């Protein structure tokens, strides 16, 4: 049977079988490797020289393309699941989750509607329901997996703003001159980013030395700005320090008002799964919406953020897209994930987490999270014992921030570069209140106390 040249890319043939075998062989080796290097970026000119031209009219072939990736491109990417990757917030997907990500792509699934992906959506919803229960939200709570915390926070705040608009319209009240969202001055940058996209104002509330947002500061902001405040954001584990706001106190400040309470738990809310830290998150059960990123402390691959609404219908009203070709989806009561965030097309990005949870069970997740908290406390004690090092704040979760006495920014930059050049670790400098510091973000269960001590020793 003769096929058109265009069908070559899609038909099952000796060529495509060979491509699949090559890719699976590479993936199997990568997933099972015990000595994957940390690697480091290269300058653009060097990558151009090493990779050469890979896109042309005829193609270079799968074997050569995979070789370029394996030997040139991949080594120029830092390995985020390395136990010595301690910058930003690391990623450490379980082997089951990473392997199942291949299955998700290979299965040609669409995760935007119940009509097209009911099985996938059912599995994702089971995970969301489990998370909502862990966080104390009511039985009707639900939502969707989106690309990341920035999109999750944006989508939640859009739903909050739309709910406020509807409320004003129902009451016959004129809208305020400007809508405002209240949050800590140490809230994640995605809140300010969402505000810019939405053309609303951010009221940054000051916090004390401990970095915790409390109810009295929120009340003052609500009193000052009145009905223009449509949402208050509490942070459940700040990115820079892992600090958890006093969510219960913030919830009390919001109680009795029409203000939406959103909890940004992208990094830290997963800490609630550990008996060691659960008490820090009291009050999250009062949230109108929340986010948590499984690609962080729930050991899923990039990119996945769980966005959960107390009342999902408010999310649906804010985000459902209407078009003639979508009527067959939007005119039903089916649970279509595209209706709950600022997106339409989506992959079933919650499935790798579902498979890993189903494979290993929740108890081992609790143990892994607890081990990171324990290790953070242990290395903080070690830092306290060293006269040339100073803790900036006591760790609450898995982030440890400290200073090297007498160092300037240039010293931190030089030290960080040497660590990566020597393939010792990836630890980038951070800062707080105008002072440069070093920071360990401990998440990977394979990170050891000896790993961290070895890094501290390089600062002597």
pLDDT in tens, 428-448: 999 999 999 999 999 999 999
Spatial strand order in the sheet of 399-404? 389-393, 399-404, 435-441, 430-432
Both 274 and 402 in a single domain?
no
pLDDT at res. 326: 67
The answer to whether residue 178 is domain-embedded is: yes
384-393 pLDDT per residue, tens: 999 999 999 9
Phi and psi angles of residue 392, each rounded to the nearest 5 degrees, phi first: -80, -45
What's the pLDDT score for residue 3? Answer: 66
Residue 97 located in a structural domain = no
Q: Is residue 191 part of a domain?
A: yes
Q: What percent of the chain has pLDDT above 90?
A: 96
pLDDT in tens, 250-307: 999 999 999 999 999 999 999 999 999 999 999 999 999 999 999 999 999 999 999 9
Place of tokens 């994930």: 337
Is residue 225 domain-shared with residue 328, that is, in the same domain? yes
Task: State the sign of the Cα–Cα–Cα–Cα dihedral 432, 434, 440, 441.
Answer: positive
Q: Which pLDDT tens digit goes with each residue over 134-186?
A: 999 999 999 999 999 999 999 999 999 999 999 999 999 999 999 999 999 99
Domain range holding 62?
Answer: 5-92
Specify whether 354 is located in the same domain as 368.
Answer: no
Q: Are 322 and 308 in the same domain?
A: yes
Q: Is residue 175 part of a domain?
A: yes
Residue that is last in its domain, among 360, 376, 410: 360
**Largest alpha-carbon pair distance within the chain?**
77
Helices (H), ranges, 9-140: 14-32, 44-51, 62-68, 95-106, 114-134
Say whether both 86 and 113 belong to one domain.
Answer: no
* Number of separate domains in the chain: 3
Q: Residue with structure tokens 């049977």?
A: 1
- 73 with 120, same domain: the answer is no
Model confidence band, residue 324 (pLDDT cutoffs 50, 70, 90) = low
- At CA 136, angle to CA 132 and CA 140, rounded to 5? 55
Q: Residue 251's closest CA among 243, 259, 240? A: 259
Asked whether residue 295 falls in the same domain as residue 152, the answer is yes
377 and 304 in a common domain: no
Which token pair is 438?
């070093």
The verdict on 390 and 354 lying in the same domain is: no
For the domain that residue 291 is a member of, what is the CATH number? Answer: 3.40.640.10
446 vs 93: CA distance, rounded Å: 12
- 378 & 423 share domain: yes
- Answer whether 88's CB lies under 8 Å from 293's CB: no
What sign for the dihedral angle of Cα 388, 392, 394, 398?
A: negative
State the DSSP code for 176.
P
Give me the half-sphere count of Cα atoms (radius 13 Å) on the Cβ side of residue 284: 29
Last residue of a domain, one of 342, 360, 378: 360
234 and 118 belong to one structural domain: yes
CATH assignment at residue 373: 3.90.1150.170
Convert the pLDDT of each residue in 39-98 to its tens digit. Answer: 999 999 999 999 999 999 999 999 999 999 999 999 999 999 999 999 999 999 999 999
- The domain boundary residue, chosen from 360, 384, 406: 360
Residue 329's pLDDT band (boundaries 50, 70, 90)? low
Q: Are residues 308 and 413 in the same domain?
A: no
């Amino acid at each position: 049977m003769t096929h058109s040249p265009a069908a070559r890319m899609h038909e099952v043939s000796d060529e495509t079988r060979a491509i699949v075998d090559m890719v699976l062989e590479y993936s199997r080796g990568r997933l099972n490797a015990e000595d994957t290097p940390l690697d480091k970026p290269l300058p653009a000119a060097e990558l151009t020289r090493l990779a050469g031209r890979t896109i042309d009219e005829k193609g270079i072939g799968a074997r050569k393309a995979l070789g370029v990736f394996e030997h040139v491109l991949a080594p120029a990417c830092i390995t985020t699941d390395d136990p010595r990757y301690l910058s930003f917030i690391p990623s450490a997907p379980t082997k089951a989750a990473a392997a199942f990500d291949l299955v998700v792509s290979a299965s040609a699934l669409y995760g935007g509607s119940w009509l097209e992906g009911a099985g996938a959506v059912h599995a994702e919803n089971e995970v969301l329901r489990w998370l909502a229960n862990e966080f104390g939200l009511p039985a009707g709570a639900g939502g969707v997996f989106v690309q990341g915390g920035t999109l999750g926070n944006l989508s939640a705040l859009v739903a909050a703003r739309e709910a406020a608009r509807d409320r004003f319209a129902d009451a016959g009240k004129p809208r305020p001159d400007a809508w405002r969202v209240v949050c800590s001055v140490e809230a994640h940058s995605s809140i300010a980013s969402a505000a810019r996209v939405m053309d609303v104002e951010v009221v940054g509330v000051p916090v004390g030395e401990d970095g915790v947002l409390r109810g009295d500061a929120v009340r003052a902001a609500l009193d000052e700005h009145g009905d223009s405040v449509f949402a208050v954001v509490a942070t459940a584990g700040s990115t820079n320090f892992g600090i958890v706001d006093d969510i219960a106190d913030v919830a009390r400040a919001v109680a009795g008002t029409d203000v939406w309470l959103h909890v940004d738990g992208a990094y830290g809310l997963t800490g609630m799964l550990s008996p060691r830290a659960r008490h820090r998150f009291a009050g999250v059960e009062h949230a109108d919406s929340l986010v948590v990123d499984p690609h962080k402390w729930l050991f899923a691959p990039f990119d996945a953020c769980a966005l959960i609404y107390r009342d999902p219908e408010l999310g649906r009203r804010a985000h459902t897209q209407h078009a003639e070709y979508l009527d067959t989806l939007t005119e039903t009561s089916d649970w279509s994930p595209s209706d709950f965030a600022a997106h339409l097309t989506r992959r079933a990005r919650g499935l790798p987490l579902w498979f890993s949870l189903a494979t290993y069970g929740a108890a081992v997740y609790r143990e892994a999270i607890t081990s990171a908290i324990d290790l953070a406390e242990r290395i903080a004690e070690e830092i306290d014992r060293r006269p040339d090092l100073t803790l900036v704040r006591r760790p609450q979760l898995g982030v440890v921030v400290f200073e090297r006495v007498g160092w300037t920014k240039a010293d931190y930059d030089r030290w960080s570069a040497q660590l990566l050049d020597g393939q010792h670790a990836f630890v980038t400098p951070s800062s707080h209140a105008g002072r440069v510091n070093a920071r360990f973000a401990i998440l990977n269960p394979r990170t050891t106390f000896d790993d961290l001590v070895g890094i501290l020793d390089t600062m002597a």
